[in-house]
Amino acid sequence: MASSSSLSFQERYDVFLSFRGEDTRNTFASYLYAALSAKQILTFMDHELERGDEISPTLTKAIEESKISVIIFSENYVSSTWCLNELVHILECKKTRGQVVMPIFYGIDPSVVRKQNGSYGVAFAQLENRFMDRMEKVNQWRAALTEASNLCGLDSKDFRPEAKLVQRIIEDISLKLRKYLSLNHHFKGHLVGIERKIEKIESLLSIGLKDVRIIGIWGMGGIGKTTLASVVFQKLSNSHFEGCSFLSNVREEYERHGINHLRKTFLYELLNDKAILKMDTPFVASPYIFDKLRRKKVLLVLDDVDSSIQLDALVEGYDQLAPGSRIIVTTRNVQVLKKVAENIYKVERLSDIESLELFHLHAFGKNSPLMDDEVLSKRVASYADGNPLALRVLGSFLNSKSKEEWESAINKLQIFPNKDILNALTISYEGLDDKGIQNIFLDIACLFNQSFSRDDAESILGFHDSFVKIGISVLIDKCLIENDAISTHGDLRMHDLLRQMGRTIVRDEHKEPGNRSRLWDAEDVCRILERNKGTEMVEVISFNMSDISRDVKISRSAFSKMCNLRVLKIYCDRIFDTKFKLYLSQDLDSYLSDTLSYFQWDLYPLKLLPSNFNPGNLVELILRGSLVQKLWSHEVQSLPALRRMDLSHSKLLTEIPDLSHVAPNLESLNLEGCTSLVQVLPFLENLEKLSYLNLAGCSKLGDLKEISRSTWYWDLVKSGGIKNFLSNICQQKLRFLKSFTNNILSVSSPEAHICKKFPMNLTSLNLSGIPIDALPSSIGSLSGLVHLYLSECEELKSLPTSIYKLKSLESLDLSGCVKLEKFPEILEPSEHLKIESISNKLCDLTNLECLWLEGCSKLERLPPLPPALLSLDVQDCESLKSLADLPLFCRSVNARHCTSLEKISDWPAYPHGLFPEYSRDVDFFGCGKLDQNTRNTIIADYAIFKMLESEISDLVFCYPGDEIPKWFSYQTSGSLLNIKKLPPLWNNDNFLGLAICVVLDLNKIKHPLGILINFKLNFITNDDDCPCEFRSHQVIETDRECLDQQVMRYFPKGLLQNSNKPSNLNWPSSCSSEASLHVWPSFHDFEEDDIFGNEYCKIKKCGVWLVNKEDLERLNAETIKSKRKRRGFDDECCEASVSDQFVSSGSREEEGDDESHPTISSKKFRLM
């Protein structure tokens, strides 16, 4: 379960008074209590005399249920252990519950409290004598006094008469309570998924450093920026700063009252000086204010700033603040922060599990609903897409409603968004100052349902239009679109709620869809096209044919009124599997708009494009799977803007027009699957900007003779009948050549299809599968070559020594080159194949990052490895006996089934400050000859680093061995482990996760087999209840007999908590006293013991480790110390060596070639 904020604690009192009764009960404390009561501030004051050493449960509860604790330090305060224990508990509540603490130094100097000298020193001498056998208690009291004295408080000597002190305390408490209530109305109840975010903000603030810094919190509307800033403010304001202010709703307040009102507000709160309220134009740099601020460490939060003008005016002269001061700014616009913020934190959406929990809390008042409501809950959570505001609003709205009302409301939300959510999000849209950027936002909202590439958006909305590029950047800055975290291609996405908001804005333009600027609903579009209901208002049409539920007959004049149509995008997910289609009974006699820049019509149903269509503004033409035989029946005059044409799988297409003069800017031409296309005219010769040509599947294409321009990518895969591909291709300004053997390169002489003179601009050369026995030496002239693929060249026997000249090479793939026996002597090395030896100069590849040697069965040793190596793959190198010293940053080693491997050297310890940025992945499964020291190294390096690094992902380690690691405190022989007594309070804040280790006997495996190792873990309380049953499994894939193997599985705490949600079970509390583990092999998920599985795999031993942060860090430190001792270097040596590696590498590149010490910047090397 995600952790909740301290704000969820019940708070019964506004103020708790802590005081020494004999000093102030009948004087100052009584006056203060009366004044607080007169102001309706609910205050707890203990009217009973102190008895004994320990405070009563009533007082303990009163402290915990108070918002503010006021501690009145007086002459004899520390002579009472009662008072001292009160103080300790108050400070604990400050730490755990965010309670505000206000010290009052009444007739005692703060330094006496801080240093425990004077009368406090006398009192402590007596306490130390009295508690000789409990000195830890005395030390605890001393620490509490020191901590409390460092808090921002009031000294009675500064106020005369005493009534002024009382009045000042009342003012301060009233201000704190107002701010407290103001902050808390945003997030009544539990806060979900916030703890990790708080920790990140605190790390960015770097409390304790003496600089003055601004940090930014950035994110979309409703994502939790204000909530996060509020919780951090409440946690830090009273403990680390002397003055604090939380300025809410800066954007709104700026519009209503102006900048001076905002300045007065926060300066008054920071300095508590009424004179500021009387100033006409207060500003930080004024001498009066500057003199006060430079002596007072402050915390300022500026919430919801939406322009640099506002921020600059508010933080003017901020560098004059006292050392250690901090400013937090929340905004939807990242540009506001870029000039002034030291760090910027983007608030991410909640996870699916966190979303459900937050929704449940508001919809049901508890973490989990009844199982009948779970499906509906997930629909709402999916709709909210991780936005906390939406989850809270919808949860509260659906609270106490029937299932039928839920279903009706959820269905309605798909079309009509909740007004409260809509209003919060619309602020960002209205904050777009430029109407053009607003239109870009609406275009994206209506065009794309899922993630999209920036190139696609720019191409559709205005190819090479700088305004579109700028507009998209502005939308990213203002969190109206964002990088898609799931995509591996850097795609963008728009939050579902923002997309719906954009579509609602368009929907509100007019009641009739045909009078709206953008159309995206398939049924709306089909009705308009059938009935000719479109108007000049329509600018964009985009819909998925997969969404239509019937065949649609389009009106012949369907587009006649749409004279402002810019984008026509009729697409389908699968052009070969579309159930319903669009039909035209006859040709379109109406024109398509001259403003049309993007024209996509998958399965276009006509033989020609409309004869009166003027495509002068057309940038992209996409007619995939169309029925066109040719594009136009007449000569086209000009296509100056056309950059992409995709006619793929238009099986009736017989010819394409001469584009050499009419489309000079064409960059991409896709004719894949055009099976009736007979000839590609010589006009291709003159398309100087053509960068992509796909002729795959053009089975009737007979001749491709003179293409010698700057083509960048030729995808001629499986192109069927191409008969001639002349050697003049080698004279091109080619950057990428991809060729296959079937019909393209059919001449036996390698020089006929791999020229002696390669194109100099070549960056990637793929000759995989070509039956060549050697590469020409001219390969070394390709100074810009980055990727060279020679895999499956089964006749290749040698490589030229000139290969060392490939200074830009990052990848060299020689996998499957079975006749290649030796890698050449590398004057500036490279590597990978089924080889027997590798040059010792491999380490001269100073930038090599990846080395693949999989399946080099004769390779017995490795030379010294390059210093920048990140990944090493030696799987199935059955003769390999040892691994040389692994480079510092090597993260991945795959040595699976290296059956002769006996030893690897230690990984060097990470230098200070780099851990845990780099993680390590290792696989030594089937390496049965590894010695025990090496096994210990593997376990320690991998397990420790990975566990410290992981918070939400489970981890798996596989390695040979028959001994459970010693730090697994619970272990046994066999498959059943009973833990009779768990440590008290084991499930505390230091608990990181749970590790399970199993020793497997796989000796009976003779053929490829996948075994499931199943885990079932129960936690039991003292009354024999079973609140948690956790189940998981691990697949073990092996293809041969193995000696004993170990599998270690680590489950971080966050994953354990979340795993029980579907079962409505709670992760055990610290009161769980017993546990049991059952492990069994099977071929089926979560079945009982599988006899067939047991036949091949036996569970020899199993163990459990309750992973504690302190234990893990201590084990990590011990491992580093041990390795350094063995390797004979210390921290400084380690860090210096790292620096030397990369500085020297960089300096070589800058200084140019050094003939005596040549290097190569190769990054990847495959020799399977």
As annotated, the active-site residues are 86
Residue 388, class by beta-carbon neighbours within 10 Å (0-12 exposed, 13-18 middle, 19+ buried)?
Answer: buried
Alpha carbons 603 and 571: distance in angstroms, whole number: 8
φ and ψ at residue 62, rounded to 5 degrees:
-65, -40
Which residues lie below 8 Å from residue 19, measured CB to CB, with a gap of 6+?
25, 28, 29, 71, 72, 74, 77, 83
Alpha carbons 823 and 832: distance in angstroms, whole number: 8
Residue with tokens 């004994």: 52
Alpha carbons 598 and 612: distance in angstroms, whole number: 17
Residue 564, class by beta-carbon neighbours within 10 Å (0-12 exposed, 13-18 middle, 19+ buried)?
Answer: middle
- For residues 413 and 503, the answer to whether their CB atoms sit within 8 Å is no
Q: What is the CA radius of gyration of the chain?
A: 36
Long-range contacts of 768-772 (CB under 8 A, 24+ apart): 768/792, 768/793, 768/813, 769/740, 769/741, 769/793, 770/739, 770/741, 770/745, 771/741, 771/795, 772/796
Q: Fill in the DSSP letter of residue 49.
A: P
Alpha carbons 788 and 885: distance in angstroms, whole number: 28
Alpha carbons 244 and 250: distance in angstroms, whole number: 16
- Pick left, alpha or beta for residue 604 (phi over 0 → left; psi -120 to 50 → alpha; otherwise beta): beta
Verify cis geometry, omega within 30 degrees of 0, for the bond prior to 161: yes
- For residues 336 and 346, the answer to whether their CB atoms sit within 8 Å is no
Indicate if the alpha-carbon torsion angle 274, 280, 285, 291 is positive or negative.
Answer: negative
Please report how the helices 435-447 and 454-462 are oriented relative to each other, as an axis angle in degrees rounded to 10. Answer: 120
3-state secondary structure (DSSP) of residue 963: coil
Alpha carbons 1150 and 415: distance in angstroms, whole number: 59
Alpha carbons 622 and 1117: distance in angstroms, whole number: 61
φ and ψ at residue 134, rounded to 5 degrees:
-135, 55
Alpha carbons 183 and 116: distance in angstroms, whole number: 36
Strand partners, 622: 600, 646
Residue with tokens 């499906």: 375
Alpha carbons 362 and 376: distance in angstroms, whole number: 14
Verify cis geometry, omega within 30 degrees of 0, for the bond prior to 916: yes
Q: What is the CA angle 636-639-644, rounded to 5? A: 120
Alpha carbons 367 and 190: distance in angstroms, whole number: 10
Strand partners, 725: 704
- Alpha-carbon dihedral angle through residues 1053, 1057, 1058, 1059, given to the nearest 10 degrees: 90
Using alpha carbons, select from 448, 446, 425, 441 the residue that is nearest to residue 473: 441
- For residues 863 and 838, the answer to whether their CB atoms sit within 8 Å is yes
Q: What is the CA angle 392-398-402, rounded to 5? A: 160
